[in-house]
Amino acid sequence: MAQGQVECPVECREVCADMNKIPFVEFRNIYKIYKMGDSEVRALDGVSFSVFEGEFVAIIGQSGSGKSTCMNIIGCLDVPTEGTYLLKGTDVSKLTDDEQAEIRNKTLGFIFQQYNLLPKLNILENVKLPLMYKGLKESEQNKRAMEALERVGIADKYHHKPSQLSGGQQQRASIARALAGAPSVILADEPTGALDSKTSAEVIDFLIDLNMQGNTIILITHDNFIAARAKRVIRIHDGKIIYDGVAANDTIIRQTLLSQKEGEA
């Protein structure tokens, strides 16, 4: 496969694991344009970047910046108006709906802001869903789902309904669901948006742990403190990337952290 090597931004050279590998996620000049009557909204206005195996990338931006559109395209839930999106080297736009479903099932694990657990199923059944769609045997589904629940530390709650758990526990369950299928990339869309700061910190700690263990994580957030904990930050503003590099070098993050220190001092 003729794989165009994408130049990694200078600032992130040190975090890119292996330049010669095929990136897990590759955006090539992606546009997403919504037509609203006569005017058009450019949610993504020519975005290019790559994410390699083992990275922990935070895509940050204010609401309306285009970060959610970015996440939807990465998650194969939406298709770009123009440009090419390669997931592990496969051009997603050329796949049928069912092939996209399969690639979501095999390569991606979603963590949503609102957890998106099915309220009528218990935690174990929720975690088993992606495994069921994978077509695994019932016994294998149970085994893997319980393993995932143990990793997030709520194995004892497996028979509870989502509504019987706290927000933090529900988010853990949704992390377990994302982990169960052993995906290449974990996509977390504002995973702490509905949680208090203490639980948020726990969830982020947990994601960092997962990254240490070798999982590739893409985190979507509007929160500079959360983004600061990622290795690499991609800042999106008005549909364009305005910064892509190590988190500590992002001016806004630096200012935010500084002002926080001053506040403490």
Partner 1 sequence: MKLTKTIHMAFGSIMSNKLRSFLTMLGIIIGVGAVIILVSIMDGVTGQITDAFESFGMNNITVSITSRGSTRYVEPEDMYEVLDENPDLFTYCTPNVTLQANLKSQTSSESERVSVTGIDETYDKINTLVTEQGRFLQFVDIDKMMKVCVIGTYYEREYFGRGEALGKTLKINGEPFTVVGVLEEKTDSTENSSDQCIYIPYTVASKMSWNRTIGSYTITMTDANKVQRAKAVLERKLTKILGSSNFYRITATQEILDELNTILDTMKMALVCIAGISLLVGGIGIMNIMLVTVTERTKEIGIRKSLGAKKRSILTQFVVEAATVSGAGGILGILFGAVVSALAGKLLDITIIPSFFAVMLAFSVSVAIGIIFGFLPAKNAANLNPIDALRFE
Give the interface with partner 1 as residue ranges (CB under 8 A): 72, 75, 77-78, 97-98, 101-102, 104-106, 110, 116, 118, 120, 129-130, 132-135, 138, 177, 181
- Which amino acid would we find at residue 193? G
Of 165 and 247, which has the nearer Cβ to partner 1?
165
Minimum distance of partner 1 from residue 36's CB (angstroms) = 16
Minimum distance of partner 1 from residue 75's CB (angstroms) = 7
Minimum distance of partner 1 from residue 195's CB (angstroms) = 19
Minimum distance of partner 1 from residue 159's CB (angstroms) = 14
Calculated CA dihedral for residues 114, 133, 52, 214, nearest 10 degrees? 80
With beta carbons less than 8 A apart as the criterion, state whether 107 and 183 touch. Answer: yes
Count of all residues that appear for the chain in the document: 265
Minimum distance of partner 1 from residue 163's CB (angstroms) = 13
Cross-strand partners of 59: 220, 234
Of 141 and 224, which has the nearer Cβ to partner 1?
141
Of 66 and 181, which has the nearer Cβ to partner 1?
181
With beta carbons less than 8 A apart as the criterion, state whether 109 and 185 touch. Answer: yes
Minimum distance of partner 1 from residue 133's CB (angstroms) = 4
With beta carbons less than 8 A apart as the criterion, state whether 218 and 186 touch. Answer: yes
- Which amino acid would we find at residue 222? H
Of 17 and 132, which has the nearer Cβ to partner 1?
132
With beta carbons less than 8 A apart as the criterion, state whether 59 and 67 touch. Answer: yes
With beta carbons less than 8 A apart as the criterion, state whether 259 and 25 touch. Answer: no
Of 97 and 264, which has the nearer Cβ to partner 1?
97
With beta carbons less than 8 A apart as the criterion, state whether 186 and 210 touch. Answer: yes
Of 11 and 102, which has the nearer Cβ to partner 1?
102
State the number of CA atoms in the 13 A half-sphere of 55 facing the CB.
Answer: 30
